Structures are given as structure tokens and as C-alpha cells.
Amino acid sequence: MLKVISMLGVVVMIGALIGLYKIGVLFTAQPIAIALQLIAVGLMVWARVTFGRRSFHAAANPTAGGLVTTGPYRFIRHPIYTAACLFGWASIVVHWSLVSIAFGILLLLGALVRMICEERLVKQKYPEYVEYARVTKRMVPYLF
């Protein structure tokens, strides 16, 4: 059931990003948004390189090869979801509206659903995840 719920989280995240694109705010010429989006892309690339050749699964599915705790995973547990949220919210901050905020909330909620499901599944495969989660925040170092 967690895998199905995690897929719903991904669908919500993708839908929110598409929604931001459709209302014309996902890509912007605002320098602060561009800078934050470049940081988000850099974080995502760093996380993918660190994670290695493991494939992305639509459903949360812990992969073989051990728990990854290096690279950006040393600072936050979910750098790819963090990058997706940062990318979307960077555009929302400079194009503030009820609709853009609603899409931003959906983006964050979808990411949270995905993270919670993934964490529960990873704990089952890697018991050491409990200690890693105790010392590493989900998305924002030292805060959350």
C-alpha cells in the first residue's frame, strides 16, 4: 500500500509542476528565481550522481547497494524532492498568487507523502536508516 500511496505523491508533484507551467510561472526571467532554480538543478544533479546507477522508481522502492549517506545525502535525506520543491517554489515566490501558492502547497504535500512512504520502506530494508534519520533532516539542514 505504501508503494501505491508513494506513486500518488509523485503524480501530485508532477501535476503541481505542470500546473505552474500552465499558468506561466514555472519559468521566469526574474534573477532570484533563476538563481534558485539553478541551485535546484545543481542539487538534483549532485544527488543523482551521488545516488549512482540506481534507477528511479515511480513507486517508492528501496534499492540494493546500501544506504547512501554521502554527497547531499550527508546534509538532507531527500535532496531530489527538495530540489523539485525548490525549483517550483522559486517561481512561486516571484509570481505570488493564490493559484501559484495552491500549486506550491500541492508540490510540497506530494513530496511529503512520497518521503514518508519511502522512509517507512527504507527502514524495513536498512535498519540503520533510523539512526541516519535521527541525525539528518528531511529537506532543510538543521530545521526540517
pLDDT in tens, 126-143: 999 999 999 999 999 878
Residue 111 sits in which domain range?
2-53+63-135
142 within domain boundaries: no
67 within domain boundaries: yes
C-alpha cell at 144: 526540517
Give CA–CA dist 114/133, Å, rounded.
Answer: 15
43 within domain boundaries: yes
144 within domain boundaries: no
89 within domain boundaries: yes
pLDDT in tens, 86-118: 999 999 999 999 999 999 999 999 999 999 999
118 within domain boundaries: yes
pLDDT in tens, 56-90: 666 777 777 788 999 999 999 999 999 999 999 99
29 within domain boundaries: yes
CA-to-CA separations, 81 to 31, 98, 116, in angstroms, rounded: 23, 23, 12
10 within domain boundaries: yes
55 pLDDT band (50/70/90 cuts)?
Answer: low
What pTM was computed for the model?
Answer: 0.92
Q: Indicate the number of domains in the chain.
A: 1
Chain-centroid distance of CA 20 in Å reads 16
